[in-house]
């Protein structure tokens, strides 16, 4: 069974998935065992990735994490240099909210030489940046504007276009450290229109916010910053 099939099965069984995001740039490999012990018991996946990560760093962090967890480790890369073959799967992102060809197709083409040789599972991911109330690293690095939370139909149509183009799941992203997470109304509307799993992240810092996202229709919630601070 692939990692995608496994998570689809868990969702069908009614499980709510929780990914903890680790930014390799801010993570010391020696802290991996202690870090893993602080994670919530409902953690199902580990995501590793950031906006600006030096080459080789992601691989080292994945290696350290592998030594102390059996949870699936997915690469969530800001650029193709972060693809590390020792991970389990790769979120093969296309930034559908933006109109920068480099992040719609350019980075993906550059990744192919690495992926041909790699063993890791590739999961086509429709990535949608939504305004979280402050400028996000994704916005800064990609030079693209987020979609307004006011324009729910545009977000729904973008998510649906992603699904129709072959994305195996859709990621609604308010940006790491967002002041305002993606609203329940947006999550509900997107969930009602797509058939693939829905990931929601950015600015989710509390149990209440996490449960709100699940109740609105998120199949997986991603939390990063809150665990960095702790």
Q: How far is the CB of 139 from ligand 1GP (least distance, A)?
A: 12
Binder among 18, 176, 183, 186 for ligand 1GP (CB under 6 A): 176
Q: Does 202 bind ligand 1GP (CB under 6 A)?
A: yes
Q: Does 177 bind ligand 1GP (CB under 6 A)?
A: yes
Which residues within the stretch 155-174 sit at the binding site for ligand 1GP (CB under 6 A)? 173
Q: Which two tokens stand for residue 13?
A: 């069984």
- Give backbone dihedrals phi and psi of 158, rounded to 5 degrees, phi first: -65, -45
Please tell me the count of residues contacting ligand 1GP according to CB under 6 A: 14
Report how far residue 119's alpha carbon sits from residue 131's, in angstroms, rounded to the nearest whole number: 35
Q: How far is the CB of 117 from ligand 1GP (least distance, A)?
A: 27
Q: How far is the CB of 140 from ligand 1GP (least distance, A)?
A: 13
Q: Does 72 bind ligand 1GP (CB under 6 A)?
A: no
Instruction: Mark 114-138 as b/e (b = at least 16 C-beta within 10 Å).
Output: ebeebebbbbbbbbbbbbbeeebeb
Q: Does 204 bind ligand 1GP (CB under 6 A)?
A: yes
CA dihedral angle for residue 123, residue 223, residue 103, residue 90, rounded to 10 degrees? -30
Which residues within the stretch 18-47 sit at the binding site for ligand 1GP (CB under 6 A)? 21
Binder among 203, 210, 216, 220 for ligand 1GP (CB under 6 A): 203
Q: Which two tokens stand for residue 85?
A: 């073959």
Alpha-carbon torsion 4, 10, 16, 17, what sign?
Answer: negative
Q: Does 201 bind ligand 1GP (CB under 6 A)?
A: yes
Q: How far is the CB of 166 from ligand 1GP (least distance, A)?
A: 22
Nearest to 8 by CA among 48, 47, 44: 44
Report how far residue 32's alpha carbon sits from residue 145's, in angstroms, rounded to the nearest whole number: 34
Binder among 84, 155, 196, 222 for ligand 1GP (CB under 6 A): 222
Q: Which residues bind ligand 1GP (CB under 6 A)?
A: 21, 173, 176-178, 201-204, 222-226
């Amino acid at each position: 069974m692939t990692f995608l099939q496994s998570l689809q099965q868990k969702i069908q069984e009614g499980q709510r998935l929780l990914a903890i995001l680790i930014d390799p740039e801010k993570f010391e490999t020696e802290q991996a065992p202690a870090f893993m012990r602080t994670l919530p018991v409902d953690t199902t996946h580990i995501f590793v990735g950031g906006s600006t990560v030096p080459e080789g760093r992601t691989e080292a962090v994945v290696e350290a994490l592998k030594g102390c967890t059996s949870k699936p480790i997915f690469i969530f890369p800001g650029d193709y240099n972060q693809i590390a073959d020792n991970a389990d799967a790769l979120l093969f992102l296309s930034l559908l909210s933006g109109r920068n060809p480099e992040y719609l197709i350019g980075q993906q083409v550059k990744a192919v030489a690495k992926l041909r040789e790699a063993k890791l599972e590739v999961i086509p991911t429709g990535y949608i940046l939504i305004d979280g109330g402050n400028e996000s690293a994704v916005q800064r690095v990609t030079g693209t504007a987020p979609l307004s939370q006011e324009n729910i139909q545009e977000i729904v149509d973008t998510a649906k276009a992603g699904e129709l183009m072959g994305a195996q799941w859709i990621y609604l992203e308010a940006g790491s450290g967002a002041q305002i997470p993606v609203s329940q109304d947006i999550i509900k509307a997107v969930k009602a229109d797509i058939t693939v799993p829905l990931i929601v992240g950015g600015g989710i810092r509390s149990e209440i916010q996490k449960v709100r996202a699940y109740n609105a229709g998120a199949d997986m919630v991603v939390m990063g910053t809150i665990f960095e601070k702790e």
